[in-house]
Amino acid sequence: MPNRIPEAAIHAIIEAGRRMAERNWVPATAGNISVRLPGDRVAITRSGFHKAHLSADAVMAVDLHGAPEDPALRPSAETGLHCGIYRAFPDTRAVVHGHSIANTVLSRRAGDTIRLEGYELLKVLPGLDTHAAAVALPVLDNDQDIPRLQAAVEARWARMAAPALPAYLIRGHGIYVWGPDMDAALARLEGLEFMLACKMAAISLGGSDP
Ligand SMILES: [Zn+2]
């Protein structure tokens, strides 16, 4: 019999889904949300549920390699990417993934990074305490083969100066953001989405954004 998922983890996932849906970052059944549990377990949204109105039965448990505890349940298609983040960054306790207009449009136009510079909200990222900073958000090509995409993510992390930013974009698809708890992951997501929306607005006005 599968172990129960702690109530707090289910609540955190349901609330995160509601918050992301309010911002229009999880259209249709897009996006997925997970929480790291004790004992190398991960609670994650099941495939096919709208994130605006998740309930406890929309959340299931997998191991750190994405294998479901209950084989009758199908986890989110991108579970392997969540698990890859938890394996690479053991302090991570929450991962959120959304498909916003800004992250979709900008990642389609980008090279292999998107530069964010001079924004006050850069301070939401770990280790940054001033707007006078710049970060290069990694952009990976989209791939329906999740193990192959995860291998590309790991290859990119290996090339990045440590510590890696707790976020990456998938081209024309969406963003992954993580943190030491759900509040931190959501704050980082909101900060990054705000900066990406600003960048898109600047470009729409015919200007440039460094
Ligand atoms: Zn996705």
Q: What is the CATH number of the domain that holds 142?
A: 3.40.225.10
Q: What is the DSSP letter of 71?
A: T
Instruction: Look at residue 1 in the predicted model and tell me its pLDDT.
Output: 46
Domain of residue 75 covers 7-204
Whether residue 176 is contained in a domain is answered as yes
Cβ atoms of 134 and 163 closer than 8 Å: no
Whether residue 11 is contained in a domain is answered as yes
Whether residue 67 is contained in a domain is answered as yes
Number of structural domains (the chain) is: 1
- β-partners of residue 114 are 137
Instruction: Look at residue 2 in the predicted model and tell me its pLDDT.
Output: 55
CA of residue 163 to ligand 1 center, whole Å: 24
Whether residue 209 is contained in a domain is answered as no
For the chain, how many residues are written? 210
Q: What is the DSSP letter of 20?
A: H
CA of residue 17 to ligand 1 center, whole Å: 14
Instruction: Look at residue 3 in the predicted model and tell me its pLDDT.
Output: 64
- In order along its 210 residues, the chain shows pLDDT tens digits of 456 999 999 999 999 999 999 999 998 988 999 999 999 999 999 988 899 899 999 999 999 999 999 999 988 889 999 999 999 999 999 999 999 999 999 999 999 999 999 999 999 998 888 888 889 999 999 999 999 999 999 999 999 876 679 999 999 999 999 999 999 999 999 999 999 999 999 998 987 777
Residue 142 structure tokens: 């989209």
- Name the residues around ion ligand 1, CB cutoff 5 A: 174
CA of residue 199 to ligand 1 center, whole Å: 22
Cβ atoms of 99 and 21 closer than 8 Å: no
The whole-angstrom separation of Cα 126 and Cα 132 is 14
Instruction: Look at residue 128 in the predicted model and tell me its pLDDT.
Output: 85
CA of residue 137 to ligand 1 center, whole Å: 17
CA of residue 142 to ligand 1 center, whole Å: 10
The whole-angstrom separation of Cα 80 and Cα 209 is 33
The whole-angstrom separation of Cα 94 and Cα 182 is 5
SS3 category, 191: helix
